[in-house]
Amino acid sequence: MLRSAHALAELHERRAQVRDAALIAEIDCRRGELVDDINDWIVAEVPMHRHGASLHTESLGAVVDRMARSWVDANQAIDLNGARSDSTHKHWYQLAELVDGYTDLVTDVAGGRRRLPEQ
Question: How is the chain split into domains, by residue range?
Answer: 1-111
- DSSP alpha helices (H): ranges in 2-116? 2-17, 21-45, 60-81, 86-110
pLDDT of residue 101: 96
pLDDT at 100 over 80: yes
pTM for this model (two decimals) = 0.92
Q: Note the pLDDT tens digit of each residue in 9-57.
A: 999 999 999 999 999 999 999 999 999 999 999 989 888 777 888 999 9
User: Residues 62-73: what's their mean pLDDT?
Assistant: 97
- Identify the CA nearest to 48 among candidates 109, 108, 92: 109
